[in-house]
Amino acid sequence: MLAIVRTAMVSLCRDRGALALSFILPVVFFSIFAVIFGGRRDSTPKVSVIIVDEDHSRASQRLVKGFQSEGSLTVKIRPAPVKGTDQPEYTATTAEAAVKAGRAPVALIIPHGFGDNPISFGPAAASRPTIQLLEDSSDMIAPQVIAGLLQKVALTSMPDVMAEQGSRYFDQFTGGLTREQRERVDSALRSLREREESGATMAASSASANGGIIAVTARAVVGENKNNPMVSFYAAAIGVMFLLFTASGAAGALLDEVESGTLDRVLSSRVTMTTLMLGKLTFNSLLAFLQLVVMFLWGWAVFKLDFWSHIPGFVVMGAFTALAVAAFGLLLASICRTRAQLGALSTLVILIMSSIGGSMFPRFLMSEAMQKAGLFTINAWAIDGFTKIFWRDEPISHLWPQVLVLIGFAIVLFAIARRVARRWEYA
Amino acid sequence: MSSPTSAATCDSPLPLRIEALVKRFGKVTAVDGVTLELRSAECLGLLGPNGAGKSTLIRSIVGRVIPDSGTTTVFGAPADSAAARQALGWIPQEIALYPRLTCRENLQSFGRYHGLGGATLAQVIERCLDWSMLTDRADELVRNLSGGMKRRLNMAAGLIHQPKLVLMDEPTVGVDPQSRNHIFEMIEKVRLEGMSIIYTTHYMEEAERLCDRIAIIDHGKIIALGTNGDLVRNAFGTRSQVLAHFGGSPDRVIPWVAARGGHTIDGIAQFTIAHPVEIASLLEDSTKAGLELVDVSLRKPNLESVFLHLTGREMRD
């Protein structure tokens, strides 16, 4: 038995790929997951929220200020400057368009008249203007965070407004205060207001997010008509990950040909290395595209994915994603010397790419640093493109950033693969 | 199998001309200043042990190895030029085929890689299948073929584009005697059609049977070149070889054989003698030395003897 253990140990030690898989992969994945979910404080993801203040009242401004002071939020009042020129503040219409375009997962619209009657301790009056929460339901977290924070901010940023409103309720239900009592209350409210306006620290509050004191009407502006909203996301996310595996496996045929001597024979004919690799790239791209077609058709047949009305966008994203993953597969194959090495390296690289690129978890769950790191992966751009088509119903013309980046990936990866493959050309 | 242009005229450039070819891999010189010419419709054998540099020489001719110095021309065109590639057929030592494709599909693929198509390709595929005696297995997957069949298809794939010069790199490695005979028949057929051939092997009987001339290669150098008869004559003249089997301890036999100027190979002592009468004195000396003679025979030297004579080593070392 010891002989068997010894033989197995020696074999493992000589197989560097397997050794890497055995020890490095778990450590790498532990680190990635720890960074994604463990959350170092300085890189905890911030929730983006667009706020439109249509009211411009003291109460609404307090509310906006309260949101802006929340460390966990990135509050957007206006779009990012274009060519150094400040853009006008968001309106209800532009904010809704921005959510639909995926620039923020949620928008708050503070309507006209909000400041007249901002909070309600009892059942909200039907006529009272309510804050609108426009949400992108592909992000399951952000709208709930904002809804909860709205109640919290109302309590912590507008104590004077609350007291004033409470006083009004008191007047309404008790028949009013005496003149002396009224003066005292007004004086207390004044000092509370002055204290708030002077920027004194706000006391923390533990208001419940649900059934809160601020009336909110939530409305999904993206994905509200989808049969099964997350299916398109997962079809793209899982699809791209397996595309990468398929592409590296298919590119491994090159290594088989090297090993069997077939590559030498092919290169002794009219076929050049560039022609050969372009042929492999074309075939592997077609294979990857076909794989995507099968996956999305399955999504349509079983999970009611709205496939047929998005064919043009699917073809564009599918074709360029397939091209990029095929080039990626060729690069991996050209770097490796054996199938075993390719298996180990592709597992390592693809799982890392998939985890930080959003194939395993939506990228909005990750820290900002990880979200930025994800931009170096094919997964992130492919998923973004498919999401634009299937989730946001955006026109094909909006896919140009994803298409350009995927083409860039394909060109760079193929060029490197071709350069590395020179070692097979001549001895 | 060959094209009509195979039979070159006297004015035509030689099928192959190699001049002062050198190829080093690090500190190892695999080909060390080889100069060689192949005549039209000639079969030239490259005979040498494993690692002698035969395959490196072949790979440099097909442009798969870039030499450090020297030149190679194929029908006057530089090796690795388009014209040279088209004129050359290469049968590598490995089974360089697609195992998941059928015999016919393999031939189609390699034919297309050489620019063939349509009716021409279909026609040459049938000829190649017939030549390799695989017509009845044309639609069989390669991975399901026997070793000998794979070897024959491997050869057919190298000739699919009807080259004028074929480089055969140990085409009989690992095949049974029957398959080897099939392969010899295939080679003899194309020889009859006037194809020029370079044939590498470490089996002297193959070189003796198939080749017009033989180049003995060792440590990357050609140490002898000529016909089988020339090589033997140059090395041994009219001398003969005595093979003697002595009983007893090899510790006693081997030093005695060496002292008498012979070699011991696989327990058999080999001596070169000028006249058959020398056998008597040889046997008398062995008796005086206390060796027990089990068996003795006389033979004419062969290529193995030539190699041993030139290098002091066996071909199989």
Same domain, A356 and A381: yes
Number of DSSP helices (H) and strands (E) in chain A, helices first: 18, 5
Cα→Cα distances B314→B48, B55, B239, B305, Å: 10, 19, 19, 8
| Element of type H or E holding B243 | strand B240-247
Does residue A15 lie within any of the structural domains? no
Same domain, A215 and A241: no
pLDDT at A341: 83
Same domain, A245 and A350: yes
SS3 state of residue A79: coil
CA nearest to B190, candidates B13, B43, B25: B43
Enumerate the β-bridge partners of residue B166: B89, B197
Same domain, A78 and A98: yes
Long-range contacts of B156-159 (CB under 8 A, 24+ apart): B156/B107, B156/B128, B156/B129, B156/B131, B156/B132, B157/A265, B157/B91, B157/B96, B157/B97, B157/B106, B157/B107, B157/B110, B157/B128, B158/A265, B158/B89, B158/B90, B158/B91, B158/B92, B159/B1, B159/B89, B159/B91, B159/B128, B159/B131, B159/B190
Same domain, A348 and A259: yes
How far away is chain A from the Cα of B98, in angstroms, using its nearest Cα? 7
pLDDT at B316: 60
Does residue A33 lie within any of the structural domains? no
Verify whether the Cβ–Cβ distance A427 to B157 is below 8 Å.
Answer: no
CA nearest to A21, candidates A392, A350, A344: A344
d(CA B116, CA A315): 34
Same domain, A183 and A121: yes
What are the structural domains, with CATH classification, of chain B? Answer: 4-232 (3.40.50.300), 240-300 (no CATH)
Same domain, A171 and A76: yes
Does residue A35 lie within any of the structural domains? no
Does residue A7 lie within any of the structural domains? no
Does residue A19 lie within any of the structural domains? no
How far away is chain B from the Cα of A274, in angstroms, using its nearest Cα? 13
Segment B108-152, tens digit of pLDDT: 999 999 999 999 999 999 999 999 999 999 999 999 999 999 999
Burial of A256 (0-12, 13-18, 19+ CB in 10 A): middle
Domain boundary pick from A222, A239, A261: A222
* CB < 8 Å to A266, chain B: 110, 113
Verify whether the Cβ–Cβ distance B113 to A264 is below 8 Å.
Answer: no
Q: 């597969």: which residue's tokens?
A: A329
Note the helical H segments in A130-212: 142-157, 159-174, 179-197
CA nearest to B147, candidates B183, B101, B105: B183
Can you give the pTM of this predicted structure? 0.74
| Contact status of A265 with chain B (Cβ, < 8 Å) | yes
Percent above pLDDT 90 for chain B: 50
Number of domains in chain A: 2
Segment B243-276, tens digit of pLDDT: 888 887 888 888 888 888 888 887 888 888 888 7
Does residue A318 lie within any of the structural domains? yes
How far away is chain B from the Cα of A272, in angstroms, using its nearest Cα? 10
CA nearest to A363, candidates A133, A40, A146, A142: A142
Percentage helix, strand, coil for chain A under 3-state DSSP, each rounded to 5: 65, 5, 30
> What ipTM goes with this model?
0.83
Q: Letter for the amino acid at B253?
A: V
d(CA A202, CA A195): 10
Same domain, A321 and A404: yes
Does residue A84 lie within any of the structural domains? yes
- The CATH number of whichever domain residue A187 belongs to comes to 3.40.1710
Low-confidence ranges of chain B (pLDDT < 70): 1-11, 315-317
Long-range contacts of B134-139 (CB under 8 A, 24+ apart): B134/B103, B137/B103, B138/B102, B138/B103, B138/B104, B139/B102, B139/B103, B139/B104
pLDDT at B317: 52
Verify whether the Cβ–Cβ distance A264 to B92 is below 8 Å.
Answer: yes
Q: Letter for the amino acid at B275?
A: H
Same domain, A321 and A373: yes
pLDDT, tens digit only, all 427 positions of chain A: 777 788 777 877 777 766 776 677 777 777 776 666 665 554 556 788 898 988 888 888 888 888 888 877 888 888 888 877 888 888 888 888 888 877 888 888 888 888 777 766 555 455 667 888 888 877 777 888 888 888 788 777 777 777 776 777 677 766 667 777 777 777 777 776 666 666 544 333 333 334 456 777 777 777 666 656 677 778 888 888 988 998 888 888 899 899 888 999 999 898 999 999 999 999 999 999 998 998 888 888 888 888 888 999 999 999 999 999 999 999 999 998 888 888 888 888 998 899 889 888 888 777 778 888 899 999 999 999 998 888 888 899 999 999 999 999 999 999 999 999 998 887 7
Same domain, A235 and A364: yes
Enumerate the β-bridge partners of residue A239: none
Residue A212 has a CB neighbour count (10 Å cut-off) of 18
Enumerate the β-bridge partners of residue A217: A132
Same domain, A305 and A358: yes
Verify whether the Cβ–Cβ distance A270 to B59 is below 8 Å.
Answer: no
Cα→Cα distances B124→A199, A342, B119, B156, Å: 92, 38, 9, 10
What lies within 8 Å, CB to CB, of B247 at 6+ separation is B291, B292, B293, B294
How far away is chain A from the Cα of B156, in angstroms, using its nearest Cα? 13
Same domain, A77 and A205: yes
Does residue A22 lie within any of the structural domains? no
Domain boundary pick from A204, A222, A240: A222
Range of the domain at A211: 42-222
Closest in A265, A271, A427 to B65, CB measured: A427
Domain boundary pick from A190, A222, A254: A222
pLDDT at A327: 96
pLDDT at A122: 52
Strand A106-110 and strand A131-136: the pairing is antiparallel
pLDDT at A223: 64
Interface residue of B60, B94, B107, B159 to substitute, partner A, most A CBs within 10 Å: B94
